[in-house]
Structure 1
Amino acid sequence: MNNYQKITYQYLQSAIQSVCQNREEHVYYPSADFTRKRKLPMSVVIESIIKFGAQSLNSELLEQWNYHVETPTASAFVQARAKLKPSAFKAVFDLFNQSFDKAKRFKGYQLLAHDGSDLPLPQNVKAHDNHFKRGNANGYNVIHVNFFYDLLNKQFLDVDFQNKRQTDERSSLCQMAQKIKPTQPVIFIGDRGYPSFNLFEHLQRLQHKYVIRCKDVNRKGFLRKSDVPDTDEFDTIVSLKLTYSRTKAIKDDPSFRFLSTTSKFDFLKRGSKDYYEIRFRVVRLKLSESTYECLITNLDDNFTPNDLKELYHLRWGIETSFRDLKHSVDLEYLHTKESSQIYQEIYARLITYNFTMRLVGQVKFPKKKRHWDYQVNVKMAFRLYRRYLNDMSIDIMRLISSYILPIREGRKFERLKFRRGFVGFHYR
C-alpha cells in the first residue's frame, strides 16, 4: 500500500479521535450523548457522514456496512447524528487542514481565492431564514456559502455561511481575513464583485496583500473618474481622498471621491466633513484586440503586470473546485432537512475534497512520448476515495493514476449559467 495514502488516512482518523476525546464540546447533552457503548459511537457517525455520496440514506448505510444484517437503520442513524453539533465536523475539518504542509507558493506567497456560491437545500417551509416563496407554490430553500480556497495546493481552508437575503461576500472576506496572521504571507484574489474601498483598507490594515479585478476604465465601474493614463495598457498608482462632504471646493478637486450615504466605509464616520486618504495600484492589461482587464492590488513592483495576470488567471481554480464540490463530491445531494445537519454534511464534503486532492497532488506521471500532457480524472478520484474508506486494502494511489485525461490547452467554451434545484429525496 502506498505510504502517503496511509499517512493521510491516519491524519483524518487522528482528527476524528481528537474531536471524540472532547465529546462534551460537540454534543447537545454532554451528560447523556454517546456516553454508553452502542452500535453507532460518535467516531463511527462522524466517519459515516464523511463517506456519504449521492445515494439515499439507506443505500449509503448498506454500502458502508457491506450489506450486513446488522446494518443500522436510517432511523437509528438519524437519531445518532442529531446528537452532534456542526462544530464536531468543523473541528475535524480544521484539524485535518492543520496536518497538511501547504508547500506550493507563488514567490513565497500562499494564494487564497475567496468566492461564494448558492447551495440549494431540501424544501423546508419551516426554515424561515433560508426559505423563499415562489408564487402560490411551496417555494424553495437556499443558503449562500463563502469559501477560502488555496489555489496552488487545491485545498478548502475556511468556510462562512450567510443568509441568502443578506449575502455580502466583501464582508465575509474581511471577517475571514482577520483569522489569518499578518506574518503569514498570503495574497487574496477576488473577481469583479469585490472592488470596495472598505475591503481594500481592511486588508491593508491587516497587512495582507490582494489582487482584485474590477470593471475596465471605459465602463461605469469602480475606476470611473479616476486619474489613470489614457492608454491601452498601464501600471499606475491611484491616490484618492474619500469623503461624505460635498462642498463646492471639494467638488472642484478631482482627487476627492464622494461616498454616498449608503456606502459602507468603516474608517470614516458617516456624515463627517473629514476625508480619508487611500492608495492602491491599478494595472490594465490587454487580452485581445477588443478586451482588457483591470486589476487593483497593493503588491509592489516586484510583481510585474505579467505576474498579476498569471495570479488572476489562477483564480479560476476556485470556480472549477465549486463544480467538483457540487457534482463530483455530491454536495448538492444532502440527506437531511435540518439546518444543523446540513452544516455537518457541508463540512464533511469539504473534508472529502481536501483528502482526495491531497492524494491527486501526489500522482506522478511517467515520462513518455505522448501527444498530450495528462491530468487525473478527478471525478473518478472522488469515487475511489469513498471506496478506499470502506476497503483499506485497495491501493488508491495506483488506481487514481490509472484514470487520466488529456490536457487540451486553448479550448474555450461558453459558460453556461443556470440554477439547479435540490435533488429531492424521493428521486434517490
Structure 2
Amino acid sequence: MSFPLKVKSTLWAIVDSMSFNLSPFVKRPGKDFSRERKFGFVRMIRFCISMQSGCMNHELLKYFYFNPDEVPTASAFIQQRAKLLPEAFLYLLSQFNQRFPTKLFMGKYSLIAADGCEFNIARNPDDPSTFHPSNGKSKRGFNMIHTISLFDLISKRYLDIVVQPGRRKNEFAALCQLIDRYSYGGFPILVADRGFSCYNVFAHALETGFYFVIRAKDINTKRLLVAASLPDRLDQWTDVILTRSNSKKKRAHPELAAMYRYICKAVPFDFITDNQPEYHMRLRVVRFKIAEGIYENIITNLPDNEFHTEHLKDIYYLRWGIETAYRDLKHTLGTTNFHSKSPKYIEYEILCRMILYNFCTIITMEVPIKKQTGKWEYQVNLSMAIKICVAFLRDEAAPGNVNGLISQYILPIRPDRTYARQLRFQVPTSFAYRFV
C-alpha cells in the first residue's frame, strides 16, 4: 500500500470507528443518526472534510457524482449537520494526528506555535457577539470570528483550536485552555508572539510541563525586572512571587521583598487561591539585537546550558511558519468560502479544513525531492500539492500518481526573502457566485 493510500485509509478508518459509538459526537445520543438516510454519520463527516469552495448545491452534486437519484437537498444536509457536536471534529483532528507521529526539533522537542486568526463571516447586525459597527475598515459594519490555534512547526500540522466570537475574544484564556488540554505528550516548546505574554500563560505552561519561548514588549520586560531601562544584550534568570495583596504584613517571605509582583483582582490568574495566596515563578529573560536600533525580548523557561541566545533566535524565527500556514488554510484551501452564516457551523468548517490541511501535509512531507544542481535547494509547491491531495481524497486522482504528481511541482527555497505584511480588509465570499 502506498503511503498516500495509507494516510487516506487511516483517516476514513477513524471516522468508521467513531460511528460505532456516537454518544460523544451528537446532540441526542440514541436518536441522532439512528435511521438510514442519505447522509448518515460517516457520509456526513466525509462530505464535510472533502467539501470545497463551491456553493452548497454544487458541492452536493459533485460529491454524489451528479446522480439525480442520489443527491440530497441542501436542506437535508443542514438538518443532519445540526445533529453534530464540534467534539466530533476535534476528536478526529486529534486522533488523526496521533496516528502519524510528528517530527521533533533537536531530536527531542515538539516545536508548537500559538497564534490568532480572524475570519470575516456573513454580515448579521443582529449578532452583537460578532458584529463590528462601521469603522475605517467597513462603512456598513462586518461580522467576524476569532480563532487561536496550536500548530506544529516541524511537521506543519494543526493540533488544536479554540473559536471565539470576534467581539468577545480573549486570547489569553484561549491559549490557557489549549495548553491545559494538550494531549500529545513529549517535550513541547510553545512559541508565541508578544500578544500572549502574561503571567497566567506562563503559569499554565509551567504547571503542565510546557517549555515556552514567548516574545515580550519592552514595557512588560521592564515591569518583570523592575528596571527603568533595558540593556542591549541580556540573558538572566529572575524569580517572582505573585500575589493579589499589597500588604507587606501578609507576605509569606518578607525577606524577599524585591521578588514580589502585585496582580490586581481584575487580571485573571488561575493559581492564586485562598489556600495558596502566593505563586512562585522562575523565568529566563533574554534580550538581543536583530537590526540597527531594534531589539527583541524573549521570556522563556528553557535551560540556558542547552539553549543559548542563538538557539532562541532560531526557534522564534520558525514561528513564522504558523503565519504561512494560516495563509494556506484560508486561501489555498478556501476556508474563507464558508457555507453557513452561523458561527457554530463555521467552527465545524474551520475544523474540517484543518483536518484536510493535515491530510495534505502528512502526505507532502513524505514526498522525496530530487536534489537539484544549482544555487537553491528545492521544496514542494504546497499550493499544488494541496490541490492534488484534495483530488485524491475525493477519488479524483489515482493513488499511484499522487507522489509523482506532487514531486513534479517544486519551488526553490529562498530563506532570506522577505515581504512587507499587507493588511487589507476582505469581505466574505458570496454564497451564490462561486465556481470551483
TM-score by length of 2: 0.87
Which amino acid counterpart does residue 190 of structure 1 have in structure 2?
A
Alpha-carbon spacing, 1:124–1:235, altered in 2? closer, same or farther (3 Å): same
Alpha-carbon spacing, 1:126–1:245, altered in 2? closer, same or farther (3 Å): closer
| Cα distance in structure 2, aligned partners of 1:32 and 1:254 | 61
What is aligned with 1:309? 313
Do 1:192 and 1:214's aligned partners in 2 also have CA atoms closer than 8 Å?
A: yes
What is aligned with 1:113? 113
Offset, 1:212: 0.6
| Cα distance in structure 2, aligned partners of 1:225 and 1:38 | 60
| Cα distance in structure 2, aligned partners of 1:181 and 1:51 | 26
Alpha-carbon spacing, 1:126–1:31, altered in 2? closer, same or farther (3 Å): farther
What is aligned with 1:289? 292
**Cα deviation 1:396-421 (Å, max 9, x = unaligned):** 22111111122223112111123322
| Cα distance in structure 1, aligned partners of 2:392 and 2:107 | 36
Alpha-carbon spacing, 1:36–1:243, altered in 2? closer, same or farther (3 Å): closer
- The size of the alignment, in residue pairs, is 422
Alpha-carbon spacing, 1:362–1:203, altered in 2? closer, same or farther (3 Å): same
Which amino acid counterpart does residue 83 of structure 1 have in structure 2?
K
Do 1:125 and 1:138's aligned partners in 2 also have CA atoms closer than 8 Å?
A: no
Please, what is the CA RMSD of the aligned residues? 2.9
Do 1:149 and 1:156's aligned partners in 2 also have CA atoms closer than 8 Å?
A: yes
What is aligned with 1:163? 165
| Cα distance in structure 2, aligned partners of 1:230 and 1:381 | 46
| Cα distance in structure 1, aligned partners of 2:84 and 2:102 | 30
Query: Which secondary structure does the structure 2 equivalent of 1:221 belong to?
Result: helix
| Cα distance in structure 2, aligned partners of 1:182 and 1:360 | 22
Q: 341-350 or 150-159: which moved more? A: 341-350
Query: Which secondary structure does the structure 1 equivalent of 2:291 belong to?
Result: coil
**Cα deviation 1:41-61 (Å, max 9, x = unaligned):** 221121111111211112222
Do 1:143 and 1:161's aligned partners in 2 also have CA atoms closer than 8 Å?
A: yes
Q: 161-170 or 31-40: which moved more? A: 31-40
User: How do 1:327-338 and structure 2 match up within 5 A?
Assistant: 327-338=331-342
Alpha-carbon spacing, 1:128–1:57, altered in 2? closer, same or farther (3 Å): same
Do 1:214 and 1:294's aligned partners in 2 also have CA atoms closer than 8 Å?
A: yes
| Cα distance in structure 1, aligned partners of 2:184 and 2:358 | 25
| Cα distance in structure 1, aligned partners of 2:291 and 2:266 | 37
**Cα deviation 1:328-364 (Å, max 9, x = unaligned):** 1111111112343222211110111000001110111
Which segments of 5 or more consecutive residues in structure 2 lack a partner in the other structure?
none
Offset, 1:97: 1.7
Selected match of 2:199 from 197, 200, 208? 197
| Cα distance in structure 2, aligned partners of 1:376 and 1:34 | 41
Query: Which secondary structure does the structure 1 equivalent of 2:432 belong to?
Result: helix
Selected match of 2:422 from 410, 416, 420? 416
Q: Does 1:43 align with 2:42?
A: yes
Alpha-carbon spacing, 1:225–1:83, altered in 2? closer, same or farther (3 Å): closer
Do 1:182 and 1:207's aligned partners in 2 also have CA atoms closer than 8 Å?
A: no
Query: Which secondary structure does the structure 2 equivalent of 1:340 belong to?
Result: helix
TM-score by length of 1: 0.89
What percentage of aligned pairs have identical amino acids? 34
Offset, 1:312: 0.6
Q: 167-176 or 23-32: which moved more? A: 23-32
Do 2:335 and 2:350's aligned partners in 1 also have CA atoms closer than 8 Å?
A: yes
**Cα deviation 1:153-211 (Å, max 9, x = unaligned):** 11111111223233222222222212236963111111111111222222222232111
**Cα deviation 1:129-151 (Å, max 9, x = unaligned):** 32344389874322211111111
Which segments of 5 or more consecutive residues in structure 1 lack a partner in the other structure?
none
| Cα distance in structure 2, aligned partners of 1:7 and 1:53 | 22
User: How do 1:389-404 and structure 2 match up within 5 A?
Assistant: 389-391=393-395, 393-394=398-399, 395-404=401-410
